[in-house]
């Protein structure tokens, strides 16, 4: 029996498409620098925290002379945070650019995420190893982790690891928090005159690491297409059986980009956008009533079935619940020992209720006991509630069912309500990358090397014009400090890359809002089907609907 599937073997041979300028010899690719930049907010505070890297210019690659192209280099790469399709191709692009510039150069992988550079858990990435992972999903080439790089001891150990192996550059592949760590590490190395550059790459399926320069984070394209295939399958089943409501929670803790993109691809009956809930100051009851209205209206037309998309982070965006979660995050960060001292689960609930403000205590007490316990569960490495563990889809099914029962008791027709819950998250994080993500990630890795060869540090690799064909993409880099502001973390003000939320005045949301009333009542499902890797470009290489609408 073959060790690999036919698709896996075929994908190994796929050659990612690069922007035209990156197809030149490395020595013929120069960097063009723009004007000095500012952070998106809190300029004085960030200037004080990043005195050596703040205000750097935006970089673009152009035809020209790269005098340092042939220098022998030793680079290290870190995969940080949750998996996203295409991570292996970032490493492949970095590896190929490094070897193209000088075959004697070496790429090391820090195993298990940021802890690898701290603990000197290092492996050399060879041609044989790299070729076994090209164009495949997952982060298993070196593994990932969520260790934060933030203490003097960690920085000292990271420096010791780099000096031991002669490493002169580190690439951090991660999301907003991981790239914030990269910015801090770049500043620390610069302050120590360590001679080690640090460059990031924008990874997260959530789609919330983007701005006017970072048009999308890698993995978003593949993940949303994977989820949309599954949603389309469920829609086809719902319209066949005609007796179930499917409540589908979609990954995306801090923004609803995944839910919006999947809605644009599949046209469900209901798609809640968390940012709209917050903007309209909707209570949990308001959200429930909006769902009940659609369920009852469809029932009145003889359609006791439907599909509802629920963002993973919805509960945080309901203002009353969001305020509760923010208060819980601070409370459990500042009084962790007191909380841990409580002997039973009920003691913990009682203690929390006494410590919370009056309004938050009321909201906490009104939630089902199971949801209360999920809010008090272990925090993530950044001190936040682990929203993915909150079964929002089941909460909504329960309360929507109760509301419909209440309508029936009043003599109102509410039809039959048989609901099933789904959570699509891990299904999309390690999928075979789409052609778009395979190409995009390869270009990001290639650009990361070029930033380092130009001696730039504290940057994030980027490609622009992503709505066009890959040969027209514009490669370069953006200073990480340009994307940062100060936010409350663990009870303290910390520098972080600002998350990008769904813009309610943006073209993708407007396109959705213009059609959702029709989709609610007409069963206008669309079925994207599986990701296609081979065939015409209009089938295989298309970006997301979000990106096309934003660039229309």
Residues noted as catalytic? 206
Alpha-carbon span 121 to 107, nearest angstrom: 14
Are 256 and 311 in contact by the 8 Å Cβ rule? The answer is: yes
Alpha-carbon span 78 to 91, nearest angstrom: 9
Helices (H) and strands (E) in the chain, counts: 24, 15
Alpha-carbon span 92 to 102, nearest angstrom: 15
| Run of H or E including 123 | strand 122-124
Check residue 465 and give left, alpha or beta (phi > 0: left; psi -120 to 50: alpha): left
Number of residues that make up the chain: 552
Alpha-carbon span 471 to 303, nearest angstrom: 48
* Residues contacting residue 351 through CB under 8 Å, at least 6 positions apart: 338, 339, 342
Alpha-carbon span 244 to 237, nearest angstrom: 9
Check residue 112 and give left, alpha or beta (phi > 0: left; psi -120 to 50: alpha): left
Alpha-carbon span 399 to 393, nearest angstrom: 10
Which tokens hold the place of 283? 């209570």
Which tokens hold the place of 47? 């200037």
Question: Which alpha helices (DSSP H) does 33-191 contain, by range?
Answer: 43-49, 87-101, 115-119, 127-131, 152-165, 176-191
| DSSP characters over 465-507 | -TTS-GGG-EEEEEEGGGGEEEEEETTEEEEEEPPPPPPTTSH
Alpha-carbon span 74 to 164, nearest angstrom: 11
Are 179 and 480 in contact by the 8 Å Cβ rule? The answer is: yes
* Residues contacting residue 508 through CB under 8 Å, at least 6 positions apart: 260, 261, 264, 502, 545, 546, 549, 550
Alpha-carbon span 78 to 178, nearest angstrom: 10
Alpha-carbon span 482 to 35, nearest angstrom: 12
């Amino acid at each position: 029996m073959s060790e690999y599937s036919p698709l896996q073997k075929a994908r190994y041979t796929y050659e990612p498409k690069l922007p035209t300028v990156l197809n030149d010899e490395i020595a013929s690719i120069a960097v063009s620098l723009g004007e000095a930049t500012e952070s998106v907010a809190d300029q004085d505070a960030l200037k004080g925290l990043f005195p050596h890297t703040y205000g750097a210019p935006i970089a673009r690659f152009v035809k020209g002379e790269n005098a340092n192209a042939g220098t022998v280099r030793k680079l290290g790469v870190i995969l940080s945070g949750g998996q996203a399709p295409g991570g292996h191709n970032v490493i492949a692009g970095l590896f190929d650019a490094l070897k193209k510039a000088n075959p004697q150069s070496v790429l090391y992988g820090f195993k298990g995420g940021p802890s690898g550079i701290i603990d000197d858990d290092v492996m050399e990435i060879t041609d044989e190893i790299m070729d076994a992972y090209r164009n495949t999903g997952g982060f298993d080439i070196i593994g990932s982790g969520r260790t934060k790089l933030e203490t003097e001891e960690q920085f000292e150990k990271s420096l010791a690891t780099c000096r031991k192996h002669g490493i002169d550059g580190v690439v951090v592949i991660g999301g907003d928090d991981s790239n914030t760590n990269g910015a801090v590490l770049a500043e620390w190395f610069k302050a120590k005159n360590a001679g080690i550059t640090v460059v990031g790459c924008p990874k997260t399926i959530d789609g919330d690491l983007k701005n006017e320069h970072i048009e999308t984070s890698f993995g978003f394209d593949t993940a949303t297409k994977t989820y949309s295939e599954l949603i389309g399958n469920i829609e086809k089943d719902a319209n066949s059986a005609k007796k179930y409501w499917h409540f589908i929670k979609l990954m995306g803790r801090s923004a609803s980009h995944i839910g919006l993109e999947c809605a644009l691809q599949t046209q469900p009956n209901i798609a809640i956008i968390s940012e709209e809930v917050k903007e309209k100051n909707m209570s949990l009851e308001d959200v429930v009533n909006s769902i009940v209205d659609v369920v009852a209206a469809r029932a009145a037309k003889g359609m006791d079935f439907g599909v509802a998309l629920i963002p993973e982070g919805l509960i945080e965006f309901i203002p009353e619940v969001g305020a509760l979660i923010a208060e819980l995050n601070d409370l459990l960060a500042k009084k962790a020992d007191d909380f841990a001292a409580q002997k039973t689960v009920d003691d913990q609930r009682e203690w929390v209720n006494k410590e919370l403000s009056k309004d938050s205590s009321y909201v906490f007490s009104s939630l089902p006991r199971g949801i209360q316990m999920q809010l008090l569960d272990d925090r993530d490495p950044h001190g936040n509630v682990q929203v993915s563990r909150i079964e929002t889809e089941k909460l909504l099914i329960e309360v929507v069912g109760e509301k419909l029962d209440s309508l029936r008791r009043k003599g109102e027709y509410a039809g039959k309500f048989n609901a099933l819950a789904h959570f699509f998250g891990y299904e999309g994080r390690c999928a075979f990358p789409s052609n778009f993500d395979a190409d995009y990630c390869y270009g990001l890795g290639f650009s990361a090397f070029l930033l380092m060869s130009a001696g730039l540090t504290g940057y994030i690799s980027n490609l622009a014009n992503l709505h066009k064909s890959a040969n027209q993409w514009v490669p370069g880099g953006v200073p990480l400090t340009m994307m940062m502001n100060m936010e409350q973390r663990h009870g303290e003000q910390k520098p972080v890359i600002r998350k990008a939320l769904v813009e309610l005045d943006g073209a993708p949301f407007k396109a959705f809002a213009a059609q959702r009333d029709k989709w609610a009542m007409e069963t206008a499902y669309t079925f994207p089907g599986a990701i296609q890797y081979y065939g015409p470009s209009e089938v295989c290489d298309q970006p997301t609907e979000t990106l096309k609408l934003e660039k229309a």
